[in-house]
Amino acid sequence: MNIALAQLNYHIGNFEANTNKIIEHIALAKEKGADLVVFAELAVCGYPPRDFLEFEEFISLCETAAEKIAAHCKGIACIVGLPVRNEHVAGKDLYNAAHFIEDGKIKATVKKALLPNYDVFDEYRYFEPATNFACIDFKGCKIALTICEDLWNINNNPLYVSNPMDELIKEQPDVMLNIAASPFSYCHDEERVAVLADNAKKYQLPLLYVNQVGAQTELIFDGGSLVFDATGALLDEMPYFTEALRMYEFDGKKVLHHQVTAHQAASDIEQIHDALVLGIKDYFEKSGFKKAVLGLSGGIDSALVCALACRALGPENVMAVLMPSKYSTDHSVQDALDLVKNIGCKHEIIPIKEAADAFDQMMAPAFSGLSFNLTEENIQARCRGIVVMAMSNKFGYILLNTSNKSECAVGYGTLYGDMCGAIGVIGDVYKTQVYQLATHINKDAEVIPLNSIVKPPSAELRPGQKDSDSLPDYDTLDQILFQYVELQKSSAAIIAQGFEEQLVRRIIKMVNNAEFKRYQTPPILRVSPKAFGMGRRMPIVGKYLS
């Protein structure tokens, strides 16, 4: 039997595009000689559909799409993920499920049992967990089909009290199939390989796993579909961050004609780079946008975002706006212009001095007798926000936010100024990682000017200003932030690692006090195990650790 894995990029709620893509790949798999083609979790509607699932019409459109797909399953079978209705009154109205389709008919429906409800996942909000399990019979083969999380309850601290495979194995299946929508983080590929290998070893069955690829606003799916033999050895690994269709010959609990290969993990920085490019590209394509605008300061953050945007959208579709203040240095403007020259994007130079001076004059009576402080710095940042939003409105550009994770964490940014935008490109990338990404982009030729990388970071909102005036050294700051944000360590636990107590308590207080700012920022492309946004839900007025 030949089994094809279809690793595809879906669009949430775009039933026409998703259905056509699935049908096209059914035909392509059939042409290549596949008996069965397997698509990802919730492929019909896209993942995660969130509250779209509460619309009756949305579920009806899923059902209509399934009927269209079934009509093309002649001479080939398919497995495809979609939400299905719960026929019982008790419980949630829907299941996260998959249809097995053969001879133009839905022959079986498998329902997901383990519904993740942590970090970015909230499936139990919508779905009822399955309680009955049965294998699929196809061409004399018993298939144990599971859906994503159903195979993830295999570690030393299980989240669930049961495993679907413990029930399915009683029917003596010949092969395991798992369809998934497994979001990217830079360390998730190795964890995924280990978990799936453990399943193959535990149940002594070959395992074919198909993941989706593509970005859905902040969530990025990296593909990397996998095939294991019954010993848990990795036989094949499909490409990352791109669509692919690949076929495997299967015979009597063996996948034929594939040599055992080790997992070829790219570096964290290379993975983050590829994920961000895909995240920008899909955000624009799936939203119907074509052109981006951003403020280009001459610093490393905006230079990095500009370079990533040009790779995702093409330099002809990126507008960089230089907005020097009266405190901007000549070399900052030159560094920005050097980047524009290197990369070939469009640019405008729009100084903000007159606008900032006008605000100072307008506010002078109210501020009489008060000295220059953060207020005037923020006015300048908000002038820049007005400029880039004006460019967005006038020309239809979509504004890219350029704040990094270190700044987002401690609130080092101005609401309605440099924190505005439609999508946060590097808001899940620490400052130390920003430097690594810049080096990666420059590996073949200088794209980001060297001076943007080596000069001390500065917002240039007052004379001689440097980030280090307000923030600890980024190497130290990022280490403490990682312990607190990603690892959820307490201040006492971080101090015990040797970090200075006053500094740790100051940083954690800054993080907590900035929660109200993050609540108002754009969605952030997620590349780490714990990103700001829907995966980290903190009370704004909480006292704990503040």
Tell me which residues are annotated as active site: 41, 112, 148
Asked if residue 28 belongs to a known ligand binding site, the reply is no
Residue type, 314: G
Asked if residue 299 belongs to a known ligand binding site, the reply is yes
Give the containing element (helix H, strand E) for 138.
Answer: strand 136-138
Asked if residue 378 belongs to a known ligand binding site, the reply is yes
Asked if residue 528 belongs to a known ligand binding site, the reply is no
Cα gap 147→169, rounded to integer Å: 15
Asked if residue 296 belongs to a known ligand binding site, the reply is yes
What letter does residue 482 receive in the DSSP assignment? Answer: I
Residue 48: cis peptide before it, omega within 30 degrees of 0? yes
Asked if residue 295 belongs to a known ligand binding site, the reply is yes
Asked if residue 354 belongs to a known ligand binding site, the reply is no
Residue type, 321: V
Structure-token pair, residue 444: 């073949």
Give the torsion sign (CA, 7, 12, 15, 17): negative
Strands (E), 217-275: 219-222, 226-228, 234-237, 244-251, 254-256
Asked if residue 369 belongs to a known ligand binding site, the reply is no
Cα gap 393→194, rounded to integer Å: 48
Cα gap 109→97, rounded to integer Å: 7
Asked if residue 402 belongs to a known ligand binding site, the reply is yes
420 touches 399 (CB < 8 A): yes
Asked if residue 301 belongs to a known ligand binding site, the reply is yes
| The three-state (H, E, C) secondary structure of 269-281, written as one string | HHHHHHHHHHHHH
Cα gap 380→268, rounded to integer Å: 36
Asked if residue 329 belongs to a known ligand binding site, the reply is no
Asked if residue 118 belongs to a known ligand binding site, the reply is yes
Cα gap 335→298, rounded to integer Å: 5
Q: What 3-state DSSP class applies to 240?
A: strand
Q: What 3-state DSSP class applies to 487?
A: coil
CA dihedral 469, 471, 477, 480 (to 10 degrees): 140
Cα gap 164→170, rounded to integer Å: 11
What letter does residue 419 receive in the DSSP assignment? Answer: T
Asked if residue 18 belongs to a known ligand binding site, the reply is no
Name which of 7, 79, 8 is nearest 37 in CA terms.
Answer: 79
Longest dimension (CA), the chain: 88
Residues belonging to the binding site for L-glutamine are: 118, 182
Residues belonging to the binding site for ATP are: 295-302, 402
Residues belonging to the binding site are: 118, 182, 295-302, 378, 402, 407, 517
Residues belonging to the binding site for deamido-NAD(+) are: 378, 407, 517
